[in-house]
Amino acid sequence: MTKSPVLILGARSDIGKAVAHRFAALGHPIQLAARAAETLDAEKTDLALRYGVPVTLHEFDALTTDRHEAFLALLPELPAIAVSAIGLMGEQRESERDPHAASHVMRSNYEGPASILALLANRFEDRGSGTLVGISSVAGDRGRATNYVYGSAKAGFTAFLSGLRNRLAKRRVHVVTVLPGFVATRMTEGMDLPARLTARPSEVAEAIERAVARKKNVVYVRTIWWLIMTVIRNIPERAFKRMTI
């Protein structure tokens, strides 16, 4: 039986690559979308040879929102599943002092991903099927001094996905929000991350594939993060504002 295509937005990221391998291993054709997409040719060849599936490359810039319609029009086929692995952590101190840096972080984590998923949502709704997966962050569960610019953008993206899920629930379009917590990627390289709280990209990919298959709505990749963020969300503001976490 022929499987439907999976579109990976942000395919250059470690998580994006892991997701591509996970779904290709199940026989899905893969559409890799990223900036300078031609530089992913080796990844394309590896996926195609390793799993025997069609793989295509597509030039995509999340921040060039006025070109998102044209990007979708050039896809060889509307995917059945679209995964947004787009994101930029940035540096909190730089974002505090440079509004352009802050805007870049906010647009990369909210505006760009929301724009392309909104367009895909309309097409999936018209078709009456499909799954949209947005990788957000536990950082969006509550603003903290150490990363509130990044966290605020992820909070917006989480709310966007929640609203999209509510809107599309009766249209047979499934929306998944993925909250990975720490992930060992190039973006977190050099950070001292606790092993128990840090997932591998392959774990995130597995959680996404499982959520798609089981039609889960919100997924904490490691369950301990649900407990941690529940505690953090419920700390009274009077005490929370004096804390450094």
Q: Which residues are catalytic?
A: 150
Q: Given the DSSP bridges, would you call strands 6-9 and 81-84 parallel, antiparallel or unpaired?
A: parallel
Q: Where are the beta strands (DSSP E) in the chain?
A: 6-9, 30-34, 55-59, 81-84, 130-135, 173-179, 182-183, 198-199, 218-220
Residue for token pair 């802050």:
102
* Cβ neighbours for 30, distance < 8 A, ≥ 6 positions apart: 5, 6, 8, 20, 23, 24, 47, 53, 54, 55, 56
Alpha-carbon torsion, ordered 105, 111, 114, 118, to 10 deg: -160
What's the length of the chain? 245
**Helices 14-24, 201-214: crossing angle, 10 deg rounding:** 50
CA 97 – CA 105 distance, rounded (Å): 13
